[in-house]
Amino acid sequence: MKPNIRTPERPMLVTCGLPYVNGECHIGHLRTYVPADVYVRVLRKLGHDVTFICGSDTHGTPIVLSAEARGVSPKRLVEEYHKHFKEIFEQLDISFDHYGSTDAETNHKRTQEIVKALIKNGYVYPRSIKLAFCSRCDRFLPDRYVEGVCPYCGAAARGDECDQGCGRHLEPGEIKEPVCKVCGSKAEFREQEHFFFKLSAFKDFLMGFLETLDGTDNARNYAREWVRRELRDWCITRNLDWGVKFPGRDDLVVYVWVDAPIGYISFTEELSAMRNLDWRAFWKGDGAIIHFIGADIIYHHCIFWPAMLKGAGYSTPDAVVASGMVTINGKPLSKTRGNVVWTKEFLEKFDADTLRYYLVAYTSHTKELDFSWRVFQERVNNELAAILGNLIHRVISFAYRNFGAVPDGEISEDVFTAIKNTKEAILEALEEYEFKKLVDSAMNLAGLGNTIFQQSEPWHLVKSGDEDVRKGKSVVRSVLQIIKATAIFLEPVMPSKMEKVWEFLGMEGDVHAAPLDEALVEIKIGQKLKKPKILFPKVGDDVVATLESKLPR
């Protein structure tokens, strides 16, 4: 059901797709986290009771294989990257209330509880299947432990996915001509009992669920297509040591796509234990649940996950917001080809806020976002420096030099109208999950501030007669009002830069806590201003050339 963002009613839980912690964070990851953080920060400014959670996705074969390749335990590997992601999110000012791990005790317990409920309700059943087995390694070969040929299109495929052909998810036992990924031997097929989730029983429920699901169209449309075409039961057990044990079977763990989304529940539970919050308000009650995810995991969040929740007697999500993917210089992001920008390296050279701005302002949330150093340079120099930075620096410097404080002028009605319109555009942006609209409307307001200041020429007015001085003061106070409003409106996008603007304006309190409506409260006459510093230094051509040269042509 669509959350009412204009009036706080239900408590809101916002989650982000969990990063899979077998490697470092690159800017492709951030397409989900930054807009979700913007969304949450605006909700807080509207007075909502909002909880924002995420955590590391720690199980599954890719992690076990990465750990084996590095000669460390899976536990050690996930602890290392969990710490890495947590630090990166802090540096990027992603304001999670809690960042957990799916390997925590809470998640093991909650996963087992849910699987037991699904068994009890008749949605999980055993079936014997033929699985790839390596006699040389003396083990079954789950998911990425095996490679072979796709049974649907004949392309070379991995055990869990036809990654180079038709893109289909492959169920255990489906792959043809299996070869062991560990030793390279030809694998054989052996029969073993596994457990299946009866997804096919949820067709009617899912059709109805997708009718009322809020969020982005790409998520709903893609999921509807799947439900119409086919709903196959899912094998939810794997032959692995690393993971959450399937209840009653020490040799099997649950498939990683069972315990990963359950992390959303267990992280809420963990937060409940730390502060005055009841996780049941969301997962057993009617609090709003909003999932931000990448478009590559729509199937899991719009089909598998709601069916699992429904089957186990939990509340289902209200909205799924799916972002488009990220390309670098127009080509797919690829770690193996080196076509990647690492977040840590970015943050060593530039401010987090410039990256947050780029990711939100570049395009519609559901479209593909291309990153290039050239466009980054253009955006910083022509928008952040030339429009926003110029407004703040020029106007506050002028006011500081001439008056030292906010002068006693009248704020024009047109300015308040423009601020009201901007606020309305921001609310619409939130309702439509179009964060570019939010940042564009705030930047237009900044542009208006520049135009008023330039056209009114207060530098002449303040040197003339009394009447003109009065006019000059009104222009300055009006534009300072615009700067104050812009700082509030852009705080969700650039929290650390707007904190500085708040300081330059001599505002009391905290721009992060300032409600959206504070933008319409008149800036106080006589409030002491500070001498502003440059907020957005220009990005030089030489810097861009060096960074460009590191990427493949």
Binding region for Zn ion (CB under 5 A):
134, 136-137, 150, 152-153, 155, 162, 165-166, 180, 182-183, 185
Q: At its nearest, how many Å lie between Zn ion and the CB of residue 142?
A: 13
DSSP 540: P
d(CA 8, CA 6): 7
Helix axes 203-212, 217-229, angle to 10 degrees: 160
Contacts of 185 (CB under 8 A, 6+ apart): 134, 135, 136, 137, 179
Give the nearer residue to Zn ion in terms of CB position, either 166 or 521. Answer: 166
Give the nearer residue to Zn ion in terms of CB position, either 150 or 479. Answer: 150
Structure tokens at 402: 């001439």
Q: At its nearest, how many Å lie between Zn ion and the CB of residue 187?
A: 7
Q: At its nearest, how many Å lie between Zn ion and the CB of residue 133?
A: 9
Q: At its nearest, how many Å lie between Zn ion and the CB of residue 160?
A: 12
Q: At its nearest, how many Å lie between Zn ion and the CB of residue 223?
A: 21
Give the nearer residue to Zn ion in terms of CB position, either 105 or 225. Answer: 225
Q: At its nearest, how many Å lie between Zn ion and the CB of residue 250?
A: 22
Give the nearer residue to Zn ion in terms of CB position, either 137 or 544. Answer: 137
Structure tokens at 278: 């009841």
Residue type, 138: D
Give the nearer residue to Zn ion in terms of CB position, either 158 or 497. Answer: 158
Selection from 263, 306, 301 nearest residue 59 by Cα: 263
Q: At its nearest, how many Å lie between Zn ion and the CB of residue 67?
A: 17
* Count of beta carbons in the 10 Å neighbourhood of residue 245: 17
- Pairing state of beta strands 12-16 and 50-56? parallel
d(CA 61, CA 239): 10
Instruction: Tell me the C-alpha to C-alpha distance, in Å, between residue 537 and each of 381, 384, 393, 459.
Output: 8, 9, 12, 25
Q: At its nearest, how many Å lie between Zn ion and the CB of residue 549?
A: 37
Residue 400: exposure state from Cβ atoms within 10 A (0-12, 13-18, ≥19):
middle
Give the nearer residue to Zn ion in terms of CB position, either 175 or 415. Answer: 175
Residue type, 93: D
Give the nearer residue to Zn ion in terms of CB position, either 150 or 396. Answer: 150
d(CA 319, CA 81): 29
d(CA 79, CA 382): 41
Give the nearer residue to Zn ion in terms of CB position, either 145 or 504. Answer: 145
